[in-house]
Structure 1
Amino acid sequence: MKKLNLLSLTLSCALGFASCSDNVTPAKENQLTTANSKSNTSKVAAAPWVKQFEDTFDVGSNLSQWTKEQRADYNSWYCDYSSSVPTTQWRDGKQCLEIKTTKLSTYKYQSGFITSNYQYKPENNTEYMLSANIKLVAMDGGTYKSFKDTYGAWPAFWSVQGNGWPTKGEIDIMEGYSFAPGSSRFTSNIFYGTSVGANLLGNSAERNYPANFNVDGNNGWHLYESFWKMKDNVVTVTIKVDNVTVATYTNSSVSNLNLNNFGQHSVIFNVNVGSKDSNFIDPNKLNLFTTVMMWVDDVTVYKRPI
């Protein structure tokens, strides 16, 4: 979830750790709720995969498997997280986790940040698959807008060991950045260091999603996955979107990376707004309309021997 220039990154990290070809125009809520289609985002995890963790975010759930943050974002001057923001809602005919942004003032937004109590990492000769079906959408009053039409939204799906960041690593599966009009960028990334608060990788592990990834495709729903394995003590992390590989990381992929030193990771969903780096996200251009929302239909972790 870190995407600042190296100077800003070092300052902020001292505080802590912090797709598809079909163009679909967002519709009214009554139209969206009848769609109820995942298409190519359906998960298949047959034997020898064994489920380790799951949340289907049933409406009325108290999100007891998660910790909801109440604090300022470490990477932005403009976003505060409230524990009241992550809720479960019916969206697109699905029961979803919803994280919604709210503009509090010209330069201040309220949003949500949720961390799983469950943690995991691969033992030798095992592989973990972390998957989530996610939709990003904005609203202008009662009208749905594309995420790409906003400016300054920064949603993320990632895993991390927060204690002693980044010494136990961070894996960013999806980070989205909106730069209106009609523009967005999606990446994966990895962070690591040997001293608390000092990321040795900069953004050298950042990998852009394929150029043909369309956040509005498939009615906005996409399957984001991280495959984290250790085979004969060699660690590999593979990131996929809609079953297409975005990036594959090994220790030789990036200078100073040591995946073997990664610790147990929690799963995180959050929506940040703005940045501490005004050259990256200009605070004077922030525009999320009425709100930007992240909807998460489900999240699962499977494990298998390899």
Structure 2
Amino acid sequence: MKKLNLLSLALSCVLGFASCSDNTSPVLAEDQLASVNNSKSTGKIAGAPWVKQFEDTFNVGSNLSQWTKEQRADYNSWYCDYASSVPTTQWRDGKQCLEIKTTKLSTYKYQSGFISSNYQYKPENNTEYMLSANIKLVAMDGGTYKSFTQTYGAWPAFWSVQQNAWPTKGEIDIMEGYSFAPNASRFTSNLFYGTSSGTNLIGNSAERNYPGNFDINGNGGWHLYESFWKMKDNVVTVTIKVDNVTVSTYTNSSAANLNLNNFGPHSIIFNLNVGSKDSNFIDPNKINLFSSVMMWVDDVTVYKRPI
């Protein structure tokens, strides 16, 4: 997500957050992964009156034509560059997935990936949109799987935003994950908004921590993340859910200077950042991603309904 660096208020940043988790099953070599854990997808299949607007199941061999794969430095970190070659489709946990994988290039430089959907959406009056994605975070130490909670300095994200003139059309962070091993990793939702390009008027006042009982290792590390964005009689509400449990509900009264009526149209973004421009937040000397940290996305859907 985009946010202002705490040490340099003149900078505007696009973060990378994503979601959670890891593998608690016995450690496996990577070539074994496709044959295990063939659990059914938790993909959101919504009945009437919901109507599907967008879907990507990330079938292996896909060229990700519904997405833009960015090639640039991360706006929030001195230590992460995005390469358009990084986002790929792979068999993971018996599922066809988007994979975004970190690679250490040097002591203070990592390569990762960032994709944004060509599809955009925002609710008209008396409509609601439901954006859903199934995500797993996992680390690798050679041929051994490690928990995301054992890493330090990873910053994955699943969010929606209008990147042009950020944050004048708002930003909705469904999941931002921060790995702080050996201290507890944390996950949040958040909003950003401003009336002029590059100036966020609400700081981090809309940041909401996930419930304390959220277990990123549960369900084999796979979790369903959702954003419900609706306008009813010109009143806008955004609700964030994880595994069908409400994490946060936002209205214009949730933060000073917030105006949800000015949000949108938004693209969908998945990215995996490393480090930060604020060394008090993520110490670059402590970054430990083992061989790699990976974000796997099983599927993503957008449904719409009248309300």
Q: Work out whether the TM-score is over 0.5.
A: yes
Q: CA RMSD in A?
A: 2.0
Query: In the alignment, does 2:65 pair up with 1:37?
Result: no
Cα deviation digits, residues 189-230 of structure 1 (max 9, x gap)? 000001110000110000000101111110000000000000
Deviation at 1:267, TM superposition (A): 0.2
Query: For residue 50 of structure 1, what is the aligned residue in structure 2?
Result: 51
Query: In the alignment, does 2:190 pair up with 1:185?
Result: no
TM value normalised by structure 2: 0.94
Change (3 A) 1:95 1:204: same
Contact 1:128 1:227 in 2 (8 A): yes
Moved more, 18-27 or 28-37: 18-27
- Cα distance in 2 between the residues matched to 1:210 and 1:5: 26
Query: For residue 163 of structure 1, what is the aligned residue in structure 2?
Result: 164
Query: For residue 27 of structure 1, what is the aligned residue in structure 2?
Result: 27
Query: For residue 110 of structure 1, what is the aligned residue in structure 2?
Result: 111
Return the letter of the residue paired with 1:35: N
Return the letter of the residue paired with 1:37: S
Aligned pairs for 1:1-306 (under 5 A) are 1-2=1-2, 5-8=5-8, 10-13=9-12, 17=14, 24-25=24-25, 27-28=27-28, 29=30, 30=32, 33-38=35-40, 41-181=42-182, 183-306=184-307
Secondary structure at 2:258 match in 1: coil
Secondary structure at 1:12 match in 2: strand
Secondary structure at 1:284 match in 2: helix
Change (3 A) 1:209 1:26: farther
Deviation at 1:106, TM superposition (A): 0.3
Change (3 A) 1:238 1:51: same
Deviation at 1:253, TM superposition (A): 1.0
Change (3 A) 1:88 1:21: closer
TM value normalised by structure 1: 0.94
Return the letter of the residue paired with 1:55: D
Moved more, 202-211 or 28-37: 28-37
- Cα distance in 1 between the residues matched to 2:212 and 2:5: 23
Return the letter of the residue paired with 2:235: V
Deviation at 1:7, TM superposition (A): 4.4
- Cα distance in 2 between the residues matched to 1:181 and 1:78: 21
Secondary structure at 1:133 match in 2: strand
Aligned length: 302
Deviation at 1:2, TM superposition (A): 3.8
Change (3 A) 1:275 1:20: closer
Secondary structure at 2:254 match in 1: coil
Moved more, 78-87 or 175-184: 175-184
Cα deviation digits, residues 89-143 of structure 1 (max 9, x gap)? 0000000000000000000000000000000000000000000000000000000
Structure 2 unpaired stretches of 5+: none
Contact 1:21 1:213 in 2 (8 A): no
Contact 1:20 1:217 in 2 (8 A): no
Secondary structure at 2:131 match in 1: strand
